[in-house]
Structure 1
C-alpha cells in the first residue's frame, strides 16, 4: 500500500514536470533564452542542446508524460479497487469510477496547476529544470527519434510537408517583452539607450493624436491681422513658426516662419507658407516620411469632421523616440507633486499611462483619451467646476484649477472602498 502511494505521488510529480516543461518551452521568450545560451556555462550548453530541435524536445516531454500516466493509471486503479469492490459489483461501473477519479486528480494536480505556473514563469522554470529535462531527453532519445521519424514520414507522404525548421528570428513582440521584463526587474535608473530602443519598438503604433500639440496650445494669428502684431507674437512666444488661419482655427491656411520677417512684408498673406494636413489617426512614422519627402517640418492634425485637432512637427515625432527635447523657449512645466503614497497633485495634461508607470497607480486607460483631463472629461461628459470632487474607480479627483475650456490642475487621492 505504501509503495503504491509513493509511486502514485511520484507519477503525479513527473507528469506535472513533463506537462509544465512542455508549456514553458513554448511560452518562454526566445530572446531571453538565446541570450542565456550565449553565456559560457554548463546551463547554456544544456539549453543549446534542448533547443537545437524543438520538435524532438516536445516529443520527449510527451513520451515521458504518457509513460508516467500509464504507470499512474495502473497503480491508481490498484489502489482504488479495494475501496470500490464492496459497493460496486459491475466491472464496467468500477472501471468508469476509477477513470473519473484518476482523471480528476491528474487534471488538477498534473495539468492545470503546473501548466499555469510554468506558463507564467516560463523563462525561470525552463532554466531551473533544464538539466532534469536534458536527462530525460537523453533517456528517451531513441524512442523520440523513432516517433519523429514516423511523423516526418507521415508529413511527407500524406501532407507533402517537411519537418519543422528551427526558427532563429525573433518577433518584435518578443524583443519588446524582453526589454519590458528587464526594465521591471531593474532597480537602477533606466539607461537612455534602453529607453530609446523601447520607444523605437513602439514607434509604429503611435498615432498623430498621441504626439500632437493640442488645439488649445496652438499659437496662431488671423491672416488679416497686422505685421506689427505678428512680430509681437513672435517676440512674446519665442517660436520660429506661427500658424495662420482664416476666420477660425478650424481653417488653418498656412504658417509664417520668423525668417520671412526679414523681407519687410506688407501683409501676412504675402509671406504665407503652405502647410500639410494629416488625420489624427495617421501613424507618425508615415507622417515623418511624408514631411521628409515634401521637405516640410510641420502639419495640421484634423479630426474626423475636418476641424483642427492639433499640430504636429518633426520635433514632436522625434521626441517620441528620444524623449522630450527642451530648448531655451520651452517654458511649459507640468505639475507633478507627490504628497504621500496616496495623494498627488498633477497637471491635467499629463498622460494617464505616464502617471500609472511613474507613480505606480492604476488609473483607467482607454483609447478615447490620453491625458488625466481627458479621463475626467470622458467620465463626467463635461468640464467640472473648481473644487468639484469626482470619484472614478478607487480614486478621488478634486479640481484645483480650471478654465472655460479645459482642466488645468487636479488633486488625486487613492481611496479604498469598502466591500
Structure 2
C-alpha cells in the first residue's frame, strides 16, 4: 500500500525541481535565440521574452513557487518519517529534538539532490530547450501565483524606492552586447550540420569588435596617398584623376604634412583655372580615434573622407567611409584599393607575399600563426623585428619563420619571401 504522503512528496519535489530548473535555464539561455523566436511570432518565444523583460516578476514567481513546494515537501516528509522513526528508533533516542534533526537532515539532503542539483544541472545543459518546452507551464504558474507575486513585487518596489531611494524598473533589455557576442562566437564555430538562425554571424561579430577598432587600423597609409601640390597647374590635377582613377585627390602646400583639402573630380566640370578655386576642406582626426566615433562623425557631417594625423600633427594616412565599412562587412574594392596584393604559395612552407598583406588575413588563410602586435601588415612585422628600414636581400629570423626582403620601393617594402622551417623539416 502506498503511503498517503508519497503523492504529496513527489508532487512537491516535482514543482520544486521545475522552479529551480527554470531559474537556472533563464540564467544560462541564449537570449538572442529567444528574441529571434519571438520575432518569428513563436508563442513560447513571446512568453519567455515577456518574463525576460520583467525580471522582478519572474524572480518572485520562481522563488514563491519554490518556497511553497518546499514547504509542502517538508510537511509531507515530516508526516511520513514520524511513524518510521517511532517504530525503528531505539527508545532511548526518541526525543522531539532527535526527531527534528533526523527529519531535517533527510529532508534537506533529498531536496538539495532531487530538487536543486539535478534539475539545475539538466536545465543548464539544455537551457533553451527547457524554456521552450516549459514556457506554458511557467505562464500558468505565474497566473496562479499572481496575487502573491503582485504583493511581493509591490513590497520590493516600496522598499527600493521609498526607503533606499533607488530607481526600480522591471523593464530590462532581453539581451545586451555580451549576449550577442557570445551567440555570434558560438555560431561562427558551430557544426555545419546544426540548424542555426539564418544570420551572417561573421558580420555581427565584426560589428561588435568595431567598437574597439582605432582609425589607424583602417586607414590608407601615408606612403600610398595620391596627392598634389596646390601650386600645380589645373592640367596636372586633371592628369592625376586620369592616372589614379580616384574621385578625390588630396591637396597639400609645400609638404604632405600640410594638407589643405581635397578636390573632387566633379569639380572639373566647373572649368576651374587653378586648384585653389575648387578646393574642399578636409577634416583631420587623430589616429587613436575610435573608428565607430569617426563613422558617426561622417554620418552627422555628411562627409566621406578624413585626414589621419599622428601625435605630432603630421599626416599619418587617409581614411574613407569604405575603409570603416570594411571592418564590418569585409573587403570592398573601392578607388583607394589596389587591384590585388601578391600572395602565392610556391611549395609547402615557402610563400611570396606583398608586404601590405595583413597579418590577421595571412594567419587565417594560411594558418601561419605570425606574431601580432602594434602593426597591421607583414611590412609592419618586418620593421618591428628588424628595428630599421631593411634593404633588398635582408633576412629576418623570426622562428619558426625566415623572412627575406625581395624588393623595395625607396623606403617601402614591396615583396617578401616567407619560409616556415617546420614544414620544410617535416618534408625532408
Do the two structures share a fold, i.e. TM-score over 0.5?
yes
Whether 2:406 is the aligned partner of 1:399: answer no
Whether 2:283 is the aligned partner of 1:276: answer yes
**Does structure 2 retain, via aligned residues, the 8 Å contact 1:399–1:407?**
no
**Does structure 2 retain, via aligned residues, the 8 Å contact 1:152–1:162?**
no
Whether 2:384 is the aligned partner of 1:382: answer no
Change (3 A) 1:151 1:165: closer
Query: CA deviation digits over 1:145-176, x for unaligned, max 9?
Result: 53652452253267438975344665465556
Change (3 A) 1:116 1:341: farther
- In the TM superposition, what are the counterparts of 1:77-156 in structure 2 within 5 Å? 122-127=127-132, 130=135, 141-142=144-145, 145-146=147-148, 149-156=151-158
**Does structure 1 retain, via aligned residues, the 8 Å contact 2:286–2:309?**
yes
Q: Which residue of 2 aligns with 1:242?
A: 249
**Does structure 1 retain, via aligned residues, the 8 Å contact 2:396–2:403?**
yes
**Does structure 1 retain, via aligned residues, the 8 Å contact 2:16–2:70?**
yes
Distance between the aligned counterparts of 2:130 and 2:379, measured in 1? 42
**Structure 1 residue 399: deviation in Å?**
2.5
Q: Which residue of 2 aligns with 1:28?
A: 29
Q: Which residue of 2 aligns with 1:82?
A: none
- In the TM superposition, what are the counterparts of 1:320-399 in structure 2 within 5 Å? 320=327, 323-326=330-333, 330-335=337-342, 347-352=354-359, 359=365, 369=374, 371-373=376-378, 376=381, 380=385, 382=387, 386-391=394-399, 396-399=400-403
**Structure 1 residue 311: deviation in Å?**
0.4
Gaps of 5+ in 2: 4-8, 82-96, 424-428
Q: What SS class does the counterpart of residue 388 from structure 1 fall into?
A: strand
Q: What SS class does the counterpart of residue 59 from structure 2 fall into?
A: helix
**Structure 1 residue 277: deviation in Å?**
1.3
Q: Which residue of 2 aligns with 1:87?
A: none
**Does structure 1 retain, via aligned residues, the 8 Å contact 2:385–2:396?**
no
**Does structure 2 retain, via aligned residues, the 8 Å contact 1:343–1:414?**
no
**Does structure 2 retain, via aligned residues, the 8 Å contact 1:43–1:131?**
yes
**Does structure 1 retain, via aligned residues, the 8 Å contact 2:49–2:174?**
no
Distance between the aligned counterparts of 1:50 and 1:290, measured in 2? 38
Distance between the aligned counterparts of 1:337 and 1:137, measured in 2? 64
Distance between the aligned counterparts of 1:386 and 1:114, measured in 2? 64
**Does structure 1 retain, via aligned residues, the 8 Å contact 2:35–2:45?**
no
- In the TM superposition, what are the counterparts of 1:217-228 in structure 2 within 5 Å? 217-222=224-229
**Does structure 2 retain, via aligned residues, the 8 Å contact 1:344–1:413?**
no
What do you get for the CA RMSD once the two structures are aligned? Answer: 6.3
**Does structure 1 retain, via aligned residues, the 8 Å contact 2:160–2:168?**
no
Query: CA deviation digits over 1:273-315, x for unaligned, max 9?
Result: 5432111233445545655676654321012221222102344
Q: What SS class does the counterpart of residue 35 from structure 1 fall into?
A: helix
Distance between the aligned counterparts of 1:342 and 1:122, measured in 2? 45
Change (3 A) 1:41 1:315: closer
Q: What SS class does the counterpart of residue 316 from structure 1 fall into?
A: helix
Query: CA deviation digits over 1:98-127, x for unaligned, max 9?
Result: 999x99999999989986886686434533
**Structure 1 residue 220: deviation in Å?**
2.9
Q: Which residue of 1 aligns with 2:87?
A: none
Distance between the aligned counterparts of 1:340 and 1:116, measured in 2? 51
Distance between the aligned counterparts of 1:134 and 1:362, measured in 2? 53
Answer with 1 or 2: which has the greater Rg. Answer: 2
Q: Which residue of 2 aligns with 1:83?
A: none
What is the aligned residue count? 398
Gaps of 5+ in 1: 79-91
Distance between the aligned counterparts of 2:218 and 2:419, measured in 1? 25
Distance between the aligned counterparts of 2:349 and 2:68, measured in 1? 55
Q: Which residue of 2 aligns with 1:89?
A: none
**Structure 1 residue 28: deviation in Å?**
3.2
